Each structure stands twice: as structure tokens, then as C-alpha cells.
Amino acid sequence: QKEVEQNSGPLSVPEGAIASLNCTYSDRGSQSFFWYRQYSGKSPELIMSIYSNGDKEDGRFTAQLNKASQYVSLLIRDSQPSDSATYLCAVNRAGNTGKLIFGQGTTLQVKP
Amino acid sequence: DAGVIQSPRHEVTEMGQEVTLRCKPISGHNSLFWYRQTMMRGLELLIYFNNNVPIDDSGMPEDRFSAKMPNASFSTLKIQPSEPRDSAVYFCASSFQYGYGYTFGSGTRLTVV
């Protein structure tokens, strides 16, 4: 079992729809959770962080965390073609070492 | 702030040659990470430093890989000798402290022929 798992996609949604990206992790003691966006040929860019159970909203983005189910998700409302990218889930291992483990990423395609 | 600065952006070298990748973290960040990204394996952590001290190098694939951080503003990743399977994008990232997300550099695309 991989430490951080994501569906590779591609996930295709029409412009204006809600895109839902999911991630599961295996280390129950993980403390910090992050979503990165990576455009083709570019470096990953941090877009959301979440540390406690529940929802965290930032503009069109909402991160959801459920530690009991070891599940993190990212919702993108009113999806735009410019949101088309690969979204990487990253999890901080237990022990708060600062070491992030990344999932393989989910490719999102937003069609005009 | 100029962000995390990596050089070179692209490197093409012949098998057996030595390759040195360079990174300047964001000023004030005390953690530095080297990652490698390929289509097959995704982002893999190679090594990370905290306050210039290597903390975990368990991701370094072989003895051919080495990394140093002589001061807070500079780190190198060296591959000697290089092999075609080392071809990948190598990212450097830095972080203010534990539990915070990273800022990535633009990466070095390495091709070993």
C-alpha cells in the first residue's frame, strides 16, 4: 500500500462545475496535509493546507479532512479551464519531521 | 523575495559524467529538501536538511548520489557517475519550519544520454 494514494485520472469536468479530488493516506499519526497544483512543465505550487478535521475554505477551493477515515479531499467550485493541472496531495509523517510524502497526483481537465 | 533558486534549468550530459545541481533556498527558511520527479515514480524525496544538517537521506538511491549544505543559503546535489536512469526533473524546496508547506524551485531537468 502506498503511503499517499490518489486516483491518477484524468478527471474531466465542464467549466463551472465542481471538481472533487480525493486522497487517502496510511500513516494514522499524520499531522499536516497539503494540496499542491502543478501545471505541465512547472514546479508544484502550494494552494491549500489543512491541519484539523473539517473543512477549510479559501476562495473557490475547499479542503476537507477526516482523520478517522484517513481521507483528504479538495473541492474546486466554479471550475475554470485555467484550473486544468495535476493536483498533488502531500502528507506530513507522524513525528512532525517536516518530511512530506506526495501522492502520484490527479490530472484535472476543465473543458470550456 | 526571489523564491527558491535552482541552477541549471536544463542539463544534458553523457553517461559517466559528474553532474552537480545547485539550490539557494528562501532566506530565513531552515529546512531544505531535494526531490526527484519522474512519470513512473512521481515525486520522491531524496534527502532533507534542517539547519544545514542532513536529517534523512534514506531516499538517496545509491552511493552515486551525494548532497551537501555548507551554509544556510546554498545546497548541492551531486551525481557521480551519472546514468541514463537518473534522467528526471530534480526539485529543491525549502520550508520555514516543520509542519509548513514547502516552496519549490523551478527544477532542473536532467537528461543523461
CA separation for the pair A104, B41 (Å, rounded): 8
C-alpha B45, offset from chain centre: 9
Contacts of A100 in chain B (CB under 8 A): 33, 45, 101-102
| Residue B92 and residue B6 in contact, taking contact as beta carbons nearer than 8 Å | yes
For position B98, what pLDDT does the model report?
Answer: 63
In chain B, residues 77-106 whose CB comes closer than 8 Å to chain A: 91, 95, 97-106
For position A96, what pLDDT does the model report?
Answer: 57
pLDDT tens per residue across all 113 residues of chain B: 689 999 999 999 999 999 999 999 999 999 999 999 999 989 999 999 999 999 989 899 889 999 999 999 999 999 999 999 999 999 999 998 766 788 999 999 999 99
Q: Say which of B42, B102, B103 has its CB closest to residue A100.
A: B102
Q: Say which of B31, B48, B99 has its CB closest to residue A32.
A: B99
DSSP secondary structure code for residue B102 in this structure: P
With a pLDDT cut of 70, the percent of chain A lying above it is: 96
For position A95, what pLDDT does the model report?
Answer: 67
CA separation for the pair A97, B58 (Å, rounded): 14
| Residue B23 and residue B108 in contact, taking contact as beta carbons nearer than 8 Å | no
Closest CA to A49 of A76, A82, A74, A23: A74
Tens of pLDDT, residues A77-90: 999 999 999 999 99
| Residue A103 and residue A4 in contact, taking contact as beta carbons nearer than 8 Å | yes
CA dihedral A94, B106, A107, B46 (to 10 degrees): -40
Interchain CB distance below 8 Å, A43 and B50: no
The C-alpha of A44 sits at a distance from chain B's nearest C-alpha, in angstroms, of: 6
Of residues B86 and A29, the one with the higher pLDDT is B86
How many CB atoms neighbour CB B51 within 10 A?
10
